[in-house]
Amino acid sequence: MSIAVRPGRTISSTTIVFAVLVLAIVAGTIITAVNGRNFFSVGNIDNVLTTMTILGLIAVGQTLVILVGSLDLSVPFVVSLASVTAGGIMAGQTGRILPAVLVTLLIAAVIGLANGLIVSYLHVHGFIATLGTGLILAGYLASNFEGNQGAAPRAFRLLDATRIGPVPIATLIMLGCALLAILMLRRTRLGHHIYAVGGHAEVARMSGVRTATPIIAAHVICTVLSAVAGLLLLARLGVGQPTVGSQGGYDLMSIAAVVLGGTLLSGGKGNIVGTLAGVAIFAVLDNVMGVMQLNPFLKDVVRGVVIVVAVAVYARREIDRRPARFGSASPIPQEVR
């Protein structure tokens, strides 16, 4: 029943997100033109895409975690940890790139596994579980690393510097990960289970879904994608920085981007495409404010207002649509029986 209803809802929800994005781009183009510049110039597009890359990767992972009904507040510290670990292992030598990347992704996967296990087996709210693991990592980072760590060899830094046409390789990696995540959500059993558990964990369990598996998988994918983001930041900066993640505020900003993309914060409804649009809205907004030479502190004010206003527009729609899902005939308990 829910499968029959979902396509119509998804399209309409994503349509609004993209309408907002188009609106932002149009407004951005006009404002940029008034300032005597071209929004669609190669340099400017490159700027927007670069801004999108890191937050986009993290937000794709965050989407999965939110869809399954959890949250991940540990991402900024995973980003930092990935950056210092990989930087330290590489130490400027090209031959060490592969082991560094593998070790970093493995560590991230272990952190994600811990998050997932705490959420699914200890029944700790995702907010608290990942706040806790995030704090644990923060303490570890603050105690063991001070200042820049290691160095990325030139071959690794090319990852950030190389472009195919106007598109940086890093952005392509982000889009590739997003595509894989979309395929996973639409085509695999795991993807459907993520929606099922996020929609109603108890109903999913009674329908024979192992609820722990999608929760753990979503958390592992999220931290691994955050580690990829940390690796890309290492490629961009050339050195590992223990504060690079927390400075970016990626935890709350990625959640904001996901919700801006039309995904329900309580889980079970939403998609990656909307999230990418949400990230793009942030990137366009940032870019335009940069062109306007707005005070960087005022940027935060604008961001805050945009988040609340945009989500208010979708939120009203969710309320209208909610009864369709849990209709008065309440078909779900009957199916269960």
Partner 1 sequence: MSTQITLPRYEGSFGRRLALALRTPGGAVFVLAAVLLVAIVVSNPNFADPGSLIRFAGRTAPIAIAAMGQYYVIVSGEFDLSMAAVIAAQVVLAGNFIGQDEARILPGLVVMFAVGTLIGLINGLATTILKVPSFIVTLGMMLALTGLVRYVTGGAATGNPSDAFRNIGRGGVEGVPVVGIIPYSLLILLVLAALAVWLMRRPFGRSIVAVGDNAEAARYAGTAVWWLKTRAFILSSLSATVAGILLVGYAGVHPSVGSGYEFAAITAVVIGGVVLGGGRGWVLSAAAGAFALELLFLLLTSLGVASTWRSTVQGVIIIVAVALAGRTWRATRRPRRRGGVAPSTPPPPPSPPRAQRQETSDA
Shorter beta-carbon distance to partner 1: residue 139 or 327: 139
43 is an interface residue for partner 1 by CB under 8 A: no
Yes or no: say if 271 and 14 are a contact pair by the CB < 8 Å rule: yes
Which one among 256, 281, 283, 284 touches partner 1, defined by CB under 8 A? Answer: 256
Shorter beta-carbon distance to partner 1: residue 73 or 174: 73
| 80-99: contacts with partner 1 (CB under 8 A) | none
Angstrom distance (rounded) from CA 234 to CA 80: 9
Shorter beta-carbon distance to partner 1: residue 64 or 173: 64
Smallest gap from Cβ 71 to partner 1, in A, equals 8
106 is an interface residue for partner 1 by CB under 8 A: no
308 is an interface residue for partner 1 by CB under 8 A: yes
Smallest gap from Cβ 327 to partner 1, in A, equals 16
Smallest gap from Cβ 69 to partner 1, in A, equals 12
Shorter beta-carbon distance to partner 1: residue 99 or 304: 304
What contacts 168, CB < 8 A, 6 or more positions away? Answer: 46, 49, 50, 53, 160, 162
Smallest gap from Cβ 305 to partner 1, in A, equals 6
Helix/strand/coil (H/E/C) assignment for every residue in the chain: CHHHHHHHHHHHHHHHHHHHHHHHHHHHHHHHHHCCCCCCCHHHHHHHHHHHHHHHHHHHHHHHHHHCCCCCCCHHHHHHHHHHHHHHHHCCCHHHHHHHHHHHHHHHHHHHHHHHHHHHHCCCCHHHHHHHHHHHHHHHHHHHCCCCECCCCHHHHHHHHCEECCEEHHHHHHHHHHHHHHHHHHHCHHHHHHHHHHHCHHHHHHCCCCCHHHHHHHHHHHHHHHHHHHHHHHHHHCCECCCHHHHHCHHHHHHHHHHHCCCCCCCCCCCHHHHHHHHHHHHHHHHHHHHCCCCHHHHHHHHHHHHHHHHHHHHHHHHHHHHHHCCCCCHHHHHHC
Smallest gap from Cβ 307 to partner 1, in A, equals 4
68 is an interface residue for partner 1 by CB under 8 A: no
Shorter beta-carbon distance to partner 1: residue 158 or 301: 301
* Stretch near partner 1 under the rule CB under 8 A, chosen from 51-59, 160-168, 202-210, 303-311: 303-311
Binding mask 318-337 for partner 1 (x = CB under 8 A): xx------------------
Shorter beta-carbon distance to partner 1: residue 194 or 260: 260
Which one among 208, 297, 330, 337 touches partner 1, defined by CB under 8 A? Answer: 297
| 117-146: contacts with partner 1 (CB under 8 A) | 118, 122-125, 127-129, 131-140, 142-143
Residues that bind partner 1 (CB under 8 A): 118, 122-125, 127-129, 131-140, 142-143, 252, 255-256, 259, 265-266, 295, 297-305, 307-308, 311-312, 315-316, 318-319
